Chain A
Amino acid sequence: MIFPTLEFALFFLVVLSSHWLLYRFAGIWKWLLLGASYFFYGYWDWRFLGLLAASSILNHACARSMQRFDGARLRKLFLVLAVAFNLGTIAFFKYYGFFVEQAYALAFRFGIPCSLPLLDIVLPVGISFFTFQALSYVIDVYRGVMPPTRHMLDFALYLSFFPQLVAGPIVRARDLAPQLAAFRPPERIDLGRATFLILGGLFKKTVIANYLSQTVVDPVFAYPEAYGAIDTLLAVYGYAVQIYCDFSAYSDMAIGFCLLLGIHIPINFDAPYSATSIQDFWRRWHISLSTFLRDYLYIPLGGSRVGAAGVYRNLMLTFLLGGLWHGAAWTFIVWGALHGVYLCIERAVAGRPAKRAATLTGWRRFGRQCLVFHLVGLSWIFFRSQTFAEAGVMLRNLARWRVTPEFPGTTLLLAIVAGLASQCLDNRRQVRGWDAFNRLPVIAQGLLAAMVLVVILAMGPRGVAPFIYFQF
């Protein structure tokens, strides 16, 4: 079940009505939301409901045991057990095939016999997201940042909460679990913000992302040999905008649906393509992942409090693993490595790049934004390509200026600009619009939102492709 479908609209209406009718009865309310979340997840493949349930039970049991036993070694043992289970699960479902392939390739090169079983493993949707959420919970409990939830049901609800279950944001347990454990309904619903987020997300996904994907990105990345420099550039720019519109749309809609349920989850994007340095980009792009990697990987490795060589090592390790998190392929690892290298160079050249770049104004600022956009765009070539050969053809194409372009440049540029302009919906940039919407008469609110919905549906192509981040 994906957000921009009739099924989800009906499902959400039922959940929303039941939620506001039953929230006073905490027990029933929690089972209702848990049941809705499991239904939402099981709609794809009910077989993985067991995995979600097992993850809830084991992580909660480990967290409770960490609290129950005082001994440092015993607490560490339960932490190691939980971390091993979470990483083991993700390693098996997501990386087993990749590692076996690499082992075979290596064994073949050195002439060593290899007999690892090749399994056809189906990747459970959203496994990377809920596994990271579970990790944040057990690590925070171990560190004493938060106590474990009192009941298993509270943790199971946190882990499976449907709006952000399959494609994030990766919400920390300390931010979401207390809201679900003891729901305190807000007196006022920020309908303006929710409407902007949901309809804005729908526009970004169904109109811009789908158009760019179908028109230029998919054809060029499928047969890059057939295209020249202009078409390839359009495809790369198009993909940069498509992935932003696709992923931020999901996050925005998730936040909007949570707002309607009276639950607050943090933002995930903050106009990333207006970043003036790569460090700034990572403060604006997939914020919940970058802060997760910072707090649970980069800082424990020593962060910036070690010597220069140590900082570069930590940056590279963090981004290599960040790349691997996105998928089991060398292209993702190269994508992560590129960002690691960018950050190392920035640090070597500018010291604290984000702080310095923040002082830039006018054309110099715009120039830096263009540079960052192009560096990020270059890395997207590896992210989107299936193989290095494909990425190589894409890069070589950038020199083929004599080939006549095939795609409608003006329309595509308009869509790309519209996608970049849609960043104005991020964070607090439309706060006046939210307030203005909130002040409208109630009929005008309903009518206006419905009219915008009709326009979006009319503009979008038929059918809705799954979100890109579902595969991660």
Chain B
Amino acid sequence: MKPYGSDDIGLKRRETNAGVPRRRAAVAIAIFCIFAALMNGVSIRDSVALKPYGTVRRAWLFAAEPLATIAERTRLPWLRQTLEQCFHNTD
């Protein structure tokens, strides 16, 4: 008896032969995460700020106050600018 989709047995066979070595897969996933985080920077902040999904938003708001103080006191314009942009999105 073939319990599932007709081609599934083919997929099981493929499982053992196809793909990339584990370490290579781990490197690819790490690169993906870095690029995704860089390219989605604004989107991630937006999603944290705008989607009412409890924990992460609460954590962000919890961190926001000390970060705001840093933003006010810092002499590094790029850091101030980045933090201000984050707060803008949070608001």
Contacts and interface: CB of A to CB of B under 8 A. Distances in A.
Interface in A212-262: 260, 262
Interface stretch (B2-10, B72-80, B81-89): B2-10
A462 B4 contact: no
Given A16-B29, A442-B31, A446-B30, A428 B20 contact: no
Contacts of B27: 442, 446
Interface string A269-308: 0100000000000011001100100010000000000000
Contacts of B91: none
Interface residues of B, number: 45
Given A6-B56, A267-B5, A427-B5, A191 B36 contact: no
A13 B33 contact: yes
A446 B31 CA distance: 5
B11 A260 contact: no
Given A5-B53, A189-B25, A291-B3, A434 B18 contact: yes
B16 interface: yes
B77 to A, nearest CB: 27
Contact of A287 (B5, B11, B19, B39): B5
A292 B43 CA distance: 41
Contacts of B38: 450
B7 A189 contact: no
Interface residues of A, number: 51
B16 A288 contact: no
A408 B4 CA distance: 39
A439 to B, nearest CB: 9
Interface in A420-451: 427-428, 431, 434-435, 438, 442-443, 445-447, 449-451
Contacts of A457: 40, 43
A392 B53 CA distance: 37
Interface in B42-87: 43-44, 46-48, 50-51, 53, 55-56
Contacts of A7: 53, 55-56
Nearest to B36: A450
* Residue among B17, B19, B35, B51 facing the most chain A CB atoms (10 A cut-off): B19
A445 B32 CA distance: 8
A193 interface: yes
Contact of A6 (B5, B10, B34, B44): B44
Contact of B21 (A172, A187, A192): A187
Contact of A438 (B20, B48, B56): B20
Given A445-B31, A450-B36, A427 B24 contact: no
A454 B36 contact: yes
A266 interface: yes
Contact of B19 (A188, A288, A443): A188
Contact of B3 (A175, A189, A453): A175
B24 A442 contact: yes
A20 interface: yes
A295 B4 CA distance: 11
Contacts of B14: 190, 193, 431
Contacts of B1: 295
18 contacts: A5-B51, A6-B53, A6-B56, A20-B26, A187-B16, A187-B21, A191-B19, A262-B22, A264-B15, A267-B8, A283-B6, A287-B4, A446-B28, A450-B39, A454-B40, A462-B46, A462-B50, A464-B51
Interface of B: 1, 3-8, 10-12, 14-22, 24-36, 38-40, 43-44, 46-48, 50-51, 53, 55-56
Interface of A: 5-7, 10, 13, 16, 20, 172, 175, 185-193, 260, 262, 264, 266-267, 270, 283-284, 287-288, 291, 295, 427-428, 431, 434-435, 438, 442-443, 445-447, 449-451, 453-454, 457-458, 462-464
Closest 4 CB pairs of A and B: A446-B31, A450-B35, A188-B19, A190-B19
